[in-house]
């Protein structure tokens, strides 16, 4: 079956906000199902892609298999874009996969993304005109993936923790990603000579925003509104060291490491520097932010 596909997400749409903490992922799942045609699984919210029926319908991934060796999700979908028959597939990075809680991936195995893509390419050779890959591996890994799989016309990068957005041109195509935290998005258009990629920012003024909420996401908006009052409740005063400023990530991690050492009695503490996002704080602590 050939279908028209337009909107794609590269994973990690879940976790990291008060709405997720209180809503358990229901809002994010409704937004993805209402706005996107194809999505890649990420390490954050991996279980949602496995268990949520509406997300399973739009998730693709070519390098994660179950106990029987069969793909957990369809390895690709076909799209007609600019009179071209395009194969849209996705891969999950090995490092991202191993960071998923083991209980959420029982029986699941992961193949090297490049090996899986080349195997899929051989299977579909001659039946499609172009290849678009949604990758949840990181920008540096995706540049290496582009060199290993020159048939990939566009690789949309996710799981980055990297300031680079591209587009970076390679021998075969391009690697590009949108800015994180809903700042912007990446797009690709078919042209006379390959694909044209760009990075855009979402509008920040009222005149540039939608006046009406699309019906496809009205359920998510309604649920978010119900939780907003809880998120506005004040839990208590913030530690004076962090109030009314934007703490440095290293400063916060040093404090967490000291606390962890004191509580556990361990000699070494390992923390992920890139997992923290710097944000301006006020004088009070709000749900999901402390």
**Can you tell me whether residue 144 is helix, strand or coil?**
helix
Angle 74-78-84 from CA coordinates, rounded to 5°: 160
Model pTM?
0.82
**What local confidence, expressed as pLDDT, does residue 66 receive?**
95
pLDDT in tens, the chain (290 residues): 333 446 777 878 888 788 888 888 999 999 999 989 999 999 999 999 999 999 999 999 999 999 999 999 999 999 998 889 999 999 999 999 999 999 999 999 999 999 999 999 999 999 999 999 999 999 999 999 999 999 999 999 998 777 888 899 988 889 999 987 778 899 999 988 889 999 998 887 766 566 677 888 888 888 898 888 888 888 888 888 888 899 888 888 888 899 999 999 988 888 877 667 778 888 887 665 55
CATH number, domain 8-207: 3.60.21.10
Do the beta carbons of residue 176 and residue 157 sit within 8 Å? yes
φ, ψ for residue 66, nearest 5 deg: -95, -170
Residue that has been written with the tokens 């907003």 in this structure: 228
Tokens of 4: 């028209």
Nearest to 78 by CA among 9, 132, 34, 10: 132
How many angstroms separate the CA atoms of 198 and 187, rounded?
A: 6
Do the beta carbons of residue 14 and residue 39 sit within 8 Å? no
User: What is the distance of C-alpha 24 from the center of its chain?
Assistant: 17
Do the beta carbons of residue 124 and residue 87 sit within 8 Å? yes
Domain boundaries, the chain: 8-207, 236-290
**What local confidence, expressed as pLDDT, does residue 64 receive?**
98
């Amino acid at each position: 079956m050939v279908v028209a596909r337009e909107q794609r997400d590269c994973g990690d749409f879940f976790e990291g906000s008060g709405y997720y903490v209180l809503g358990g992922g229901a809002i994010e799942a409704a937004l993805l199902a209402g706005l996107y045609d194809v999505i890649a699984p990420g390490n954050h919210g991996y279980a949602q892609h496995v268990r949520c029926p509406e997300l399973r319908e739009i998730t693709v991934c070519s390098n994660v298999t179950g106990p029987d060796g069969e793909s957990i999700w369809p390895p690709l979908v076909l799209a007609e874009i600019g009179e071209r028959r395009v194969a849209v597939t996705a891969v999950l990075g090995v490092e991202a996969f191993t960071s998923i809680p083991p209980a959420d991936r029982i029986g699941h195995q992961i193949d090297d993304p490049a090996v899986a893509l080349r195997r899929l390419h051989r299977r579909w050779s001659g039946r499609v005109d172009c290849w678009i890959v949604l990758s949840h591996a990181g920008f540096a890994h995706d540049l290496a993936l582009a060199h290993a799989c020159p048939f990939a016309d566009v690789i949309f990068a996710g799981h980055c923790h990297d300031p680079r957005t591209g587009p970076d041109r390679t021998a075969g195509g391009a690697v590009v990603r949108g800015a994180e935290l809903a700042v912007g998005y990446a797009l690709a258009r078919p042209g006379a000579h390959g694909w044209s990629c760009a990075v855009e920012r979402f509008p920040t003024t009222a005149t540039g925003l939608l006046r009406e909420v699309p019906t496809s996401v009205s359920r998510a908006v309604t649920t978010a509104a119900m939780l907003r009052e809880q998120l506005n409740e004040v839990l208590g005063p913030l530690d004076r060291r962090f109030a009314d400023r934007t703490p440095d990530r290293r400063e916060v991690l040093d404090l967490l490491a000291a606390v962890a050492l004191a509580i556990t009695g361990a000699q070494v503490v390992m923390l992920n520097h890139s997992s923290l996002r710097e944000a301006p704080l006020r004088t009070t602590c709000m749900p999901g932010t402390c």
